[in-house]
Amino acid sequence: MKINQLRDVIAVANKGSFRAAARYLNMTQSAISRSINELERDLGTVLFDRHARGVLLTPMGERFVQRASLALNELQRARDELQQLQGSYVGKVSVCLSSGALAKLLPGALRSFHKKFPDVTLELIEGQYFIAETGLKEGSIDFYIGPEPQGGVDGDLVVEHFYENTLVILARPGHPMLGAQSLHDLQAARWLSAATAQTDEVSQLFMAHGLPSPHVSMFCKTIHTIILAVQHSDLVALVPKPLAQFGISLGLSTIDIDCSVNSPRSVFIRRLGMPLTPAAEYFSERLRIEN
């Protein structure tokens, strides 16, 4: 089994056909077919079901691609780590941060990271845990910071408490409900939730105060979309305090009423038993300093 065969099988799985994978890897279709055929003979199993319109992974293929992705990502991390330990600060750090974590932690950490590791590529993914889960397990994402997943995580990941969340209600300047004195006054408002439909914190907030759940008109999870939606509509948004502070810096307002609710704490999640590269470790430390 060769590294290029792992690369080839992952490309075919991701692109859905030998032709598309060959274009992506700048190879001939016959070369990539030969590589996959040799790998299948070596493994003694078929990895792909071939069809006229493309290929589909077999159950064995799905298992193999998951392991192959992890192996290739770890090999790349190993290369990055050794080069960084020898003073050659190259490679890549990939992290997933929730909108609240981005607003709270990133501004102060980014400059110092680029100063220390100017030639390391930083990939930032904005989203919640479900977006990062596969990448964490496959090794393509170094770590995640954001709300703790309600269902917990698998045993191959480790969870550390990072910070508690405080929620704030964000609205545009001149919003007709800026003068609201209680949640009861906001039951008729059009709500935006920065959580997911499955973990709707707006409904949880109202229920915690003995009130019926209001209608949530919009769910979104990126800073830019949340800010734009609140700026250009009568939506009110229940967001983490750092995100609200960012919105205020752009001219938005807050509705100052009690938003006490058992909001999920924010956590740091990474793969169990696998050290971060020096660059990823440094970036995580800078984010902790900003906490």
Rounded mean pLDDT for each run of 10 residues along the chain, 291 residues in total: 91 92 92 93 93 90 90 86 82 92 92 93 93 90 92 88 90 93 91 72 86 89 91 93 90 86 84 90 94 80
Say whether both 123 and 11 belong to one domain. Answer: no
Domain count, the chain: 3
156 and 173 share one domain? no
| Residue 34 forms part of a structural domain | yes
Do 183 and 245 sit in the same domain of this protein?
A: yes
In which domain, by residue range, is 216 found?
167-255
Instruction: Give me the CATH number covering residue 36.
Output: 1.10.10.10
User: Residue 187 falls within a domain, yes or no?
Assistant: yes
What pLDDT is recorded for position 227?
94
Are 147 and 200 found together in one domain? no
Q: Against a cut of 0.85, is the pTM above it?
A: no
Co-location of 119 and 231 in the same domain: no
* 115 and 228 assigned to the same domain: no
- Closest C-alpha among 100, 140, 111, 109 to residue 123: 140
Is 78 within a domain? no
Whether 139 and 193 map to the same domain: the answer is no
* DSSP secondary structure, the chain, as one string: --HHHHHHHHHHHHHSSHHHHHHHHT--HHHHHHHHHHHHHHHTS--EEEETTEEEE-HHHHHHHHHHHHHHHHHHHHHHHHHHHTT--EEEEEEEE-HHHHHHHHHHHHHHHHHH-TEEEEEEEES-HHHHHHHHHHTSS-EEEEEPPTT---TTEEEEEEE---EEEEE-TT-TTTT--SGGGGTTSEEEESS-GGG-HHHHHHHHTT-PPPPEEEE---HHHHHHHHHTSSEEEEEEHHHHHHHHHTT-EEE-S-----PPPEEEEEETT-PPPHHHHHHHHHHHHH-
pLDDT score recorded for residue 167: 87
Residue 52 and residue 104 share a domain: no
Among the candidates 13, 37, 68, a domain finishes at: 68
Does 115 fall in a domain? yes
73 in a structural domain: no
Residue 75 placed within a domain: no
Residues 38 and 14 grouped into a single domain: yes
Q: Are residues 246 and 280 located together in one domain of the fold?
A: no
> Does residue 147 sit in the same domain as residue 271?
yes
In a domain, 173, yes or no: yes
- Any domain includes 119: yes
**Shared domain check, 123 and 179:** no
